[in-house]
Structure 1
Amino acid sequence: MQSHTSEYICVLLKKVCNEFDIECSKWRSLTTDNANNMKAASNLFLGSGKHISCFAHTIHLVVDDVVKGISSFSHVLDKVKKIVTHFKHSPAAMDMLRKLQADEGTAEGHIKTLVQSVDTRWNSCLDMLISFLSISNKVAIVLINRSTTVKGLPEMLTASELLICQDFCDLLMPFKDATEKISGESYVTVSMVIPLILLLMDKIRKIQLESAEGILTKEALLKEADKRFKFLQNNKILVKSSLLDPRFKKVYLSPLTALEALKDIAYEMSKNKNIEEDLVRPANDNVPQEACSKNEGFLEAHMRSIATLEPLEVTENQEIKLFLSLPFTSWDSDPISKEHIPNAIKAGIGLPYYTR
Structure 2
Amino acid sequence: MDNKPFSTVEGKGFLQLMKEVCPLYKVPCRETIKNRIDEKYEAMSDLFKTYIKNADNYCITYDIWTETMQTKSFVGITIHFLDKSQLLSGTLGVFELTEHHTSLYITEKLTDIFSEWNISIEKVSAVITDNDSTVMKVNRDMFGEKKIIPCFAHTINLVVTKSIDDANNCTELISKVRDIVKYIKKSVNASDELWKRQMETGSKGQVKKIILDVRTRWNSCLYMLERFLELVSIVGAILLTRPEAPPMVSSSELECVKEMVGLLRPFEKVTKEISGDSYVTVSKVIPLISCVRDAVENMKPRNEIIVQFKNEIKKQLARRFDNIEHSAILAISTTLDPRFKFMQVFGHTPLLRTFSVEEKLINKINK
TM-score, normalisation: structure 1:
0.67
Give yes or no for the alignment of 1:182 onto 2:279: no
- Asked if 1 retains the 8 angstrom alpha-carbon contact of 2:170 and 2:306, the reply is no
- Asked if 2 retains the 8 angstrom alpha-carbon contact of 1:32 and 1:38, the reply is yes
State the partner residue of 1:45: 142
Give yes or no for the alignment of 1:201 onto 2:287: no
Secondary structure of residue in 1 paired with 2:125: coil
Work out which of the residue numbers 235, 250, 255 in structure 2 matches 1:163: 255
In 2, the alpha carbon distance for the partners of 1:41 and 1:89 equals 43
State the partner residue of 1:101: 198
In 2, the alpha carbon distance for the partners of 1:21 and 1:119 equals 38
- Asked if 2 retains the 8 angstrom alpha-carbon contact of 1:13 and 1:45, the reply is no
State the partner residue of 2:225: 129
Corresponding letter in the other structure for 2:220: S
Matching of residues 171-250 of structure 1 within 5 Å: 171-249=263-341
| Alpha-carbon distance change, 208 to 191 in structure 1, aligned in 2, over 3 angstroms | same
Query: Aligned-pair distance for 1:299?
Result: 5.1
State the partner residue of 2:166: 69
**Identity score, percent:** 35
State the partner residue of 1:259: none
The superposition leaves residues 264-288 of structure 1 with CA deviations (integer Å, 9 ceiling, x where unpaired) of xxxxxxxxxxxxxxxxxxxxxxxxx
Query: Aligned-pair distance for 1:101?
Result: 3.1
Unaligned stretches of 5+ in structure 2?
1-97, 363-367
CA RMSD of aligned residues (A): 2.7
Work out which of the residue numbers 113, 116, 124 in structure 2 matches 1:27: 124
State the partner residue of 2:8: none
Query: Aligned-pair distance for 1:96?
Result: 2.9
In 1, the alpha carbon distance for the partners of 2:180 and 2:145 equals 50
Query: Aligned-pair distance for 1:309?
Result: 5.0
Corresponding letter in the other structure for 2:349: A
Secondary structure of residue in 2 paired with 1:247: helix
Unaligned stretches of 5+ in structure 1?
253-296, 317-356
In 1, the alpha carbon distance for the partners of 2:193 and 2:109 equals 56
Corresponding letter in the other structure for 2:148: H
In 2, the alpha carbon distance for the partners of 1:248 and 1:6 equals 39
Query: Aligned-pair distance for 1:34?
Result: 1.0
Query: Aligned-pair distance for 1:216?
Result: 0.4
State the partner residue of 2:181: 84
- Asked if 1 retains the 8 angstrom alpha-carbon contact of 2:210 and 2:224, the reply is yes
Bigger share in strand: 2
Query: Aligned-pair distance for 1:129?
Result: 1.0
Corresponding letter in the other structure for 1:139: V
In 2, the alpha carbon distance for the partners of 1:222 and 1:93 equals 39
The superposition leaves residues 299-354 of structure 1 with CA deviations (integer Å, 9 ceiling, x where unpaired) of 55347x58x758x99xx9xxxxxxxxxxxxxxxxxxxxxxxxxxxxxxxxxxxxxx
- Asked if 2 retains the 8 angstrom alpha-carbon contact of 1:140 and 1:156, the reply is yes
| Alpha-carbon distance change, 299 to 185 in structure 1, aligned in 2, over 3 angstroms | farther
In 2, the alpha carbon distance for the partners of 1:96 and 1:38 equals 48
Corresponding letter in the other structure for 1:211: N
More relative contact order in 1 or in 2 (CA 8 Å, sep 6+)? 1
- Asked if 1 retains the 8 angstrom alpha-carbon contact of 2:343 and 2:350, the reply is no
- Asked if 2 retains the 8 angstrom alpha-carbon contact of 1:163 and 1:210, the reply is no
Query: Aligned-pair distance for 1:231?
Result: 3.7
- Asked if 2 retains the 8 angstrom alpha-carbon contact of 1:10 and 1:41, the reply is yes
In 1, the alpha carbon distance for the partners of 2:136 and 2:232 equals 45
Secondary structure of residue in 2 paired with 1:185: coil
- Asked if 2 retains the 8 angstrom alpha-carbon contact of 1:31 and 1:54, the reply is yes
Query: Aligned-pair distance for 1:2?
Result: 4.2
In 1, the alpha carbon distance for the partners of 2:312 and 2:103 equals 32
Query: Aligned-pair distance for 1:220?
Result: 0.9
State the partner residue of 2:95: none
TM-score, normalisation: structure 2:
0.65
In 1, the alpha carbon distance for the partners of 2:99 and 2:198 equals 56
- Asked if 2 retains the 8 angstrom alpha-carbon contact of 1:97 and 1:142, the reply is yes
State the partner residue of 1:336: none
| Alpha-carbon distance change, 64 to 135 in structure 1, aligned in 2, over 3 angstroms | same
In 1, the alpha carbon distance for the partners of 2:198 and 2:110 equals 55
Give yes or no for the alignment of 1:301 onto 2:349: yes
Work out which of the residue numbers 135, 138, 141 in structure 1 matches 2:237: 141
- Asked if 1 retains the 8 angstrom alpha-carbon contact of 2:256 and 2:303, the reply is yes
- Asked if 2 retains the 8 angstrom alpha-carbon contact of 1:80 and 1:129, the reply is yes
